[in-house]
Amino acid sequence: MGVGLKVVDLSVVYQAPDGGELPALGPVSFDIAPASFVCLIGPSGCGKSTLIRVLAGLQQSTHGEAYLGKEHILQPSRQVGVMFQDANLMPWRTVIENIALPLELVGVQKAGRLATARQMLPGLGLGAEFAESYPAELSGGMAQRVALGRVLIQQPEVLLLDEPFGALDAFTREQISIDLMQMWSSLHQTVVMVTHNIDEAVLLADRILVFSSRPGQIVADIAVGLPRPRRIEDSYGDEFGHLAGQVRTAVQTA
């Protein structure tokens, strides 16, 4: 599973309040191999979220192109799942019903979609006792696990994550990161994840793209050669510290 992504001389320019141009991103060019895990890191406002929206087909670039495999990205694709920082769960639906929503939208019978959603709970770190809970009864971390399940149930070949764990406390964030890494190792999706957390990027990624301040351009492309499977304890090692230092220096000098 997994399909590659390619970006060629891509730029995004917004209209400023005074009617002028406000460059937000680029130009950037890069390739992402199928089934790889890539993190994007850089200062706030450098265009990382804009890039995610372009790759998701939710926004058009001003210049340049983005490709999903060999296909020009012009609109959303069922091959691509997107998750943002806000869980955006439907408050009137239970956990299972929220996870199963994408299958409902494509016409899967109720019994089948709910059974599939229920099977996902252990991998998401959610106990069966939460299956019939409503979003208001969940912690922030649990809500994000449900939101992740809602994306993964679609079995996308590409997973785009825009700071999905940014609002969580450090301990919960670590736990969900490990769960995500375990699911990715079995599903072999192509993952592009925006984060501001350097340790999180080093722990999860095969490769880290560091962006400059707006308009964001790639100032460093750092390979993460740490062996897999990885554990939180790996973050205490010398090689991990060296890689984190490389990323930190690139961010600070961007």
User: What does the alpha-carbon distance between residue 226 and residue 221 come to, in Å, rounded to a whole number?
Assistant: 16
Radius of gyration in angstroms for the set of CA atoms belonging to the chain, rounded to a whole number? 18
In this prediction, residue 17 has a pLDDT band, given cuts at 50, 70 and 90, of confident
pLDDT tens-digit series, residues 145-202: 899 889 888 889 999 999 887 767 778 788 888 888 888 888 788 999 999 899 999 9
Flag whether pLDDT at 25 surpasses 80: yes
Alpha-carbon distance values, 167 to 84, 172, 196 (Å)? 11, 10, 11
Counting Cβ atoms within 10 Å, is residue 76 exposed (0-12), middle (13-18) or buried (19+)?
exposed
**Residue 185: per-residue pLDDT:** 81
Query: What percent of the chain clears pLDDT 70, i.e. is strictly above it?
Result: 99
pLDDT tens-digit series, residues 116-141: 999 888 888 888 888 899 999 988 88
pTM of the model: 0.90
Domains and CATH numbers, the chain: 1-79+195-254 (3.40.50.300)
**Widest Cα–Cα separation across the chain:** 54
pLDDT tens-digit series, residues 218-227: 999 999 999 9
In this prediction, residue 244 has a pLDDT band, given cuts at 50, 70 and 90, of very high
Element (H, E) at 65: strand 63-68
Please, how many CA atoms are within 13 Å of residue 166, restricted to the half-sphere of its CB? 15
Whether the CB-CB separation of 39 and 196 falls below 8 Å is answered with no
